[in-house]
Amino acid sequence: MPSNNKVITSDLEKLIGERDYLKREVNRLENEVSSLIKTKHESDQLCYLLLSEKENLISAYTDLETLYKSSQSELMSLKNVLIHQQTSHQKTLFVR
C-alpha cells in the first residue's frame, strides 16, 4: 500500500502542478485580453479624432475653395472694368 500512496501522491502533485499552470495561463490570457481591449479603446479614440480632423479639413478646404472662386470672380470683374476703362481712355485720346 505505501507504493500505492506514492503513486496517488505523485498523481496529486501532477494535478496540482497542472492546476497551477492553468491558473497562470488564465491570468496571462486575462491580462492579454485586458491589454487588447485597452488598445482597441485607444484605437477607437484615435479614429474618432482623425475623423473629426478630416471633417474640419474638409470644411476648411470648402471655405478656401469658395473664397478662391469668389476672389477669382472679383478679379475677373476688376480686370474687365480695367479693360473697359483703358478702352474708354484710348477712345478719348483718339477723339482729341
pLDDT tens per residue across span 30-89: 999 999 999 999 999 999 999 999 999 999 999 999 999 999 999 999 999 999 998 887
25, 26, 34, 35, 43 from 29: Cα distances, Å: 6, 5, 8, 10, 21
Residue 65 φ then ψ, to 5°: -65, -40
In this prediction the pTM is 0.59
Which cell goes with 37? Answer: 481591449
